[in-house]
């Protein structure tokens, strides 16, 4: 992102004016601007979404790479559920399911 440009804005009509050194080739064009506070709030939301996406991607990668030991599919499934619940609980605005089962043992991972 670039730096902010300081300008004067009319509180009545919304006209913006920023002073600069004119080199004689100026042309007026329509521009679309947002308030810095709106921009910063959106940046914070994007960063929050990136963190949430990374946490959920980690759960998907775990699901893709886990192979239960013989006869341990249910314990493995419950351990994966717990990982998913933790990722969802860490994401603001998403309620985790009640009474998560304890983390299960008996999980192996495949290496690539």
In terms of DSSP H, where are the helices of the chain? 36-65, 73-90
pLDDT at 9: 86
Q: Are strands 8-9 and 66-68 parallel, antiparallel or unpaired?
A: unpaired
Digit-coded pLDDT (tens) for 26-71: 777 888 888 889 999 999 999 999 998 998 999 999 999 988 888 8
Residue 104 has pLDDT above 50, yes or no: no
Half-sphere exposure of 67 (CA within 13 A, CB side): 5
pLDDT at position 40 is 93
Please compute the mean of the pLDDT values over residues 83-98 and round it to a whole number.
70
Instruction: Identify the band that residue 2 occupies on the pLDDT scale cut at 50, 70 and 90.
Output: low
pTM for the model stands at 0.58
Write out the two tokens for 47.
């960063």
């Amino acid at each position: 992102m670039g730096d902010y440009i300081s300008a004067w804005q009319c509180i009545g009509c919304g006209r913006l004016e920023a002073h600069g050194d004119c080199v004689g080739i100026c042309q007026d064009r329509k521009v679309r601007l947002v308030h810095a506070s709106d921009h910063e709030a959106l940046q914070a939301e994007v960063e929050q979404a990136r963190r949430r996406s990374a946490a959920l991607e980690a759960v998907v990668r775990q699901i893709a790479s886990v192979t239960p030991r013989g006869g341990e599919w249910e314990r493995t499934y419950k351990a994966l559920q717990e990982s998913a619940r933790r990722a969802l609980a860490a994401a603001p605005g998403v309620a985790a399911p009640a009474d998560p089962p304890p983390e299960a043992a008996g999980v192996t991972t495949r290496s690539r």
